[in-house]
Amino acid sequence: MTTNLLSLRVASQHLLAPVGIVLASMALPAIANGFVLFQATQVMVFAVAILGLNLLVGFSGQLSLGHGAFFAIGAYVAAILMGQYDVPYWLALPAAGVVAFVFGLLFGLPALRLEGVYLALATFSLAIATPQILKLSVLTPLTGGSPGIAVSKPQAPLGLPLTDDQWLYYIALCVTGAQYLLARNLVSSRSGLAMLAVKEDPVAAKAMGVNLSVYKTLAFGTSAAFNGIAGALSAMAVQYISPDSFTFYLSASILVGLVVGGVGWLPGAFFGALFVLLVPNLAEGLSKGLSGAVYGAILIALIFFLPSGASTFRSASLLRTRRKP
Amino acid sequence: MELFVQQLVAGLSTGTIYACIALAVVMIYQAIGHVNFAQGEMAMLSTFVAWQLMQLGVPYWLAFVLTVVLSFGMGLLIERTLMRRLRHAPPLSQVAVFIGLLLMLNSAAGYAWNFTVKPFPTPFGTGPFLGASWISQHQAGMLASTLAILAALVVFFRFTRVGLSMRGATSHPVSARLLGIRVQALEGLGWGLASAIGAVAGMLIAPIVFLEPNMMAGTLIYGFAGAVLGGLGSPAGAVLGGLLVGVLENMAGTFIPVIGGELKLTLALVTIVLVLVIRPQGLLGRKLVHRV
């Protein structure tokens, strides 16, 4: 009986925070105005992208400086499907994920042979080349070239009394929740363990019968799919995309968010997303012209003083709950 | 044929810039085993320093020498204050610090000198070189400067005590330390040299691409491609790779229509990926063997 009560209490303690967060985020549109909702949607967009990169870096040990490219693919797929083929948004979102997944697999194949610095170099050049590829004149009928494409915001169905901003916020909330659960389950599944083994010790993993190539490529594809979905959401939120929205700065932001949130800790994605969205604004407030310098300095300071990012606090709280019983 | 020779020479002369950047990348790779993503922004800042000195009335060559010395100091300072403490940090943290550095330098340069494009003088002149129609004086000067830097580096690494101990320190750090070589001090020297070489590259390419905070983004990618093609561990390979990439870029731009101006950066990306997949050690690099 006591053990039952105890486990109930532990369970409630464990559930309290997630349930609270979900309820609070569902209630947010009731109190927040359009701009705050837009910012909150953007936080979720980045959180999904960072979650995806975390699957790659934190769980399969590959480094990517170029995930903005997959983000861009997702955004373009969604914009083109919705704008030119009248595909509804709820189909465009998964389609963006699937296309990004395929591109991720394709890039993951050569990436198999690259390690560490070399993979960083290849993905860095992918990030730099992305805007140019998007501007390619052959693709202009589809992509709209440099001027870009406008995207219409999804509207609430069944005459629900919600503004477009509120409805998009709820879509983003659902997608983010689903992606988070997906990532969590993937990590604790057999495949997730195999990926982790590949990261920790490739030789030992191979000896245990884990197929390195399959899991590394799959990790690349999956993380690209997350970024594609994030890109599609972002296109709907911003309502406009152009090649210059997907510069190296985007890829760098996703990576910075990952480092700030903590590599290998999934909830860190939300802290990382808050950082990459809010700190540049903060830096802008501190000094208009030097915002990039302030941002860079904050980032470097964070790496020096808090090398594992927000996940530092996770281990502290974990120890506390372990010691209690 | 004339077009071909012209493009070959033009390719070689832009290739010299890529060769310089590749050299700088290789120097740092040798020192810390990682690629410095802020290399281009460091070179850009150096070029702005040279420009500022010239605005203050300093003659070109004096400004050139001062800039190289100051850049050496900047490289040393970055190593001392930032990189030294990250020696044992995971690669991801190092990459994030490079990104932070890149953002800082870019924004600081934009703040100090704004984002308008500025012309930059060339000391070699702009007319045709010795009456030849296929090479300009500036291009010839660029080629000569790069070959001079390479020659100096070869002498440094082959025949001087410091250069030899630097090679020892990178190939066998522990044995080198046991022999009394100050490995840490040499890492600082590597950063200083890389920064100085980057400064020369920046000042040489600025008359062509013009001076602005984002001038180095494309050049850096080609420098990386050159370094990878030649082999990340080999300075001579870096020069060879840089020149080859320059020629490849120009030839593809002239003779393959779509690639022309539109896919220039993609060409560098494809080069990097292809080289890494087919011959990861590059043309002149040594193959890495892992002990299990």
Question: pLDDT of chain B along its 292 residues, tens only?
Answer: 777 888 888 888 888 888 888 888 888 887 767 788 888 899 999 999 999 999 998 898 999 999 999 999 999 999 888 888 887 777 788 888 888 899 889 888 988 888 888 888 888 877 777 666 667 788 888 888 888 888 888 888 888 888 888 878 877 778 888 888 887 888 888 889 889 988 998 898 888 888 888 888 778 888 888 888 888 877 888 888 999 998 888 888 777 766 656 677 778 788 888 887 787 777 777 665 555 5
Nearest to A264, CA basis, from A55, A48, A18, A50:
A55
Q: Going by C-beta distance under 8 Å and a sequence separation of 6 or more, which residues neighbour residue A269?
A: A46, A47, A48, A50, A51, A54, A180, A257, A258, A261
Q: Measured at the alpha carbon of residue A282, what is the angle toward residues A276 and A288, in degrees to the nearest 5?
A: 115
Helices (H) and strands (E) in chain B, counts: 12, 0
Rounded CA-CA distance B6/A323 in Å is: 75
Q: What Rg value do the Cα atoms of chain A yield, rounded?
A: 20
Among the partner residues B35, B106, B221, nearest to A120 by beta-carbon distance: B35
pLDDT in tens, B101-160: 998 898 889 888 888 888 888 888 777 776 666 677 888 888 888 888 888 888 888 888
Q: Which residues of B touch A61 (CB under 8 A)?
A: none
Please tell me whether residue A175 adopts helix, strand or coil conformation.
helix
| B93 → chain A, closest CA residue | A303
Please tell me whether residue A150 adopts helix, strand or coil conformation.
strand
Q: Which residues of B touch A291 (CB under 8 A)?
A: 107
Cβ <8 Å between A110 and B232:
no
B41 Cα distance to chain centroid: 11
Cβ <8 Å between A63 and B292:
no
Nearest to B138, CA basis, from B207, B196, B202, B201:
B207
The pLDDT score that the predictor gives to residue B207 is: 86
Q: Cβ of A133 under 8 Å from any chain B Cβ?
A: yes
Cβ <8 Å between A296 and B268:
no
Q: Which residues of B touch A258 (CB under 8 A)?
A: 92
The pLDDT score that the predictor gives to residue B133 is: 66
Q: Cβ of A307 under 8 Å from any chain B Cβ?
A: yes
- Own/partner contacts of B146-151, CB < 8 Å, gap of 24 or more, are B146/B16, B146/B17, B146/B19, B146/B20, B146/B204, B146/B239, B149/B20, B149/B23, B149/B197, B149/B200, B150/B19, B150/B23, B150/B235, B150/B236, B150/B239
Strands A240-241 and A149-150: antiparallel
The alpha carbon dihedral of A304, A305, A311, A316 has a sign of: positive
- Own/partner contacts of A95-100, CB < 8 Å, gap of 24 or more, are A96/A228, A96/A229, A96/A231, A96/A232, A97/A225, A97/A226, A97/A228, A97/A229, A97/A232, A98/A225, A98/A228, A99/A73, A99/A74, A99/A228, A100/A70, A100/A73, A100/A74, A100/A224, A100/A225, A100/A227, A100/A228, A100/A229, A100/A231
Cβ <8 Å between A297 and B108:
no
Q: Going by C-beta distance under 8 Å and a sequence separation of 6 or more, which residues neighbour residue B53?
A: B62, B63, B66, B67
| A249 → chain B, closest CA residue | B103
State the number of CA atoms in the 13 A half-sphere of B195 facing the CB.
23
The residue ranges of chain A whose pLDDT is under 50 are 318-325
Among the partner residues A122, A135, A291, nearest to B107 by beta-carbon distance: A291
Q: Cβ of B272 under 8 Å from any chain A Cβ?
A: yes
Q: Which residues of A touch B224 (CB under 8 A)?
A: 121, 124-125
CB B217 within 8 A of CB A251: no
Count how many pairs of residues, chain A against chain B, have C-beta atoms within 8 Å.
139
Nearest to B168, CA basis, from B156, B159, B181:
B181
- Amino acid sitting at position A130: T
CB B47 within 8 A of CB B249: no
Distance (Å) from the C-alpha of residue B75 to the closest C-alpha of chain A? 17
Q: Which residues pair with B118 in a beta bridge?
A: B211
Cβ <8 Å between B266 and A129:
yes
Residue whose token pair is 């296929």 = B134
Residues 6-45 in A contacting B (C-alpha not used; CB under 8 Å): none
Cβ <8 Å between B273 and A122:
yes
CATH class of the domain at B2-124+132-278:
mainly alpha
Q: Which residues of B touch A129 (CB under 8 A)?
A: 221, 265-266, 268-269
Distance (Å) from the C-alpha of residue B72 to the closest C-alpha of chain A? 21
Residue A247: how many other CB atoms lie within 10 Å: 16
- Amino acid sitting at position B71: S
Q: Which residues of B touch A304 (CB under 8 A)?
A: 85
ipTM of the modeled complex: 0.81
Cβ <8 Å between B96 and A114:
no
Please tell me whether residue A251 adopts helix, strand or coil conformation.
helix
Residue A73: how many other CB atoms lie within 10 Å: 25
Rounded CA-CA distance B235/B253 in Å is: 27
| B90 → chain A, closest CA residue | A307
Among the partner residues B93, B263, B268, nearest to A259 by beta-carbon distance: B93
The pLDDT score that the predictor gives to residue A319 is: 46
Rounded CA-CA distance B17/B200 in Å is: 9
Q: Which of B104, B270, B278, B279 to mutate to test the interface with A (most CBs of A within 10 A)?
A: B104
Domain spans in chain B, listed from the N-terminal domain onward: 2-124+132-278
Tokens of A206: 């191979």
Please tell me whether residue A241 adopts helix, strand or coil conformation.
strand
Rounded CA-CA distance A283/A290 in Å is: 8
The pLDDT score that the predictor gives to residue A5 is: 61
Tokens of A173: 């909330």
Cβ <8 Å between A63 and B264:
no
Whole-number Cα distances in Å, A126 to A222, A248, B85, B118, B234: 18, 9, 29, 28, 24
Please tell me whether residue B278 adopts helix, strand or coil conformation.
helix
The pLDDT score that the predictor gives to residue A325 is: 42
Among the partner residues A128, A137, A299, nearest to B217 by beta-carbon distance: A128
Tokens of B132: 């030849």
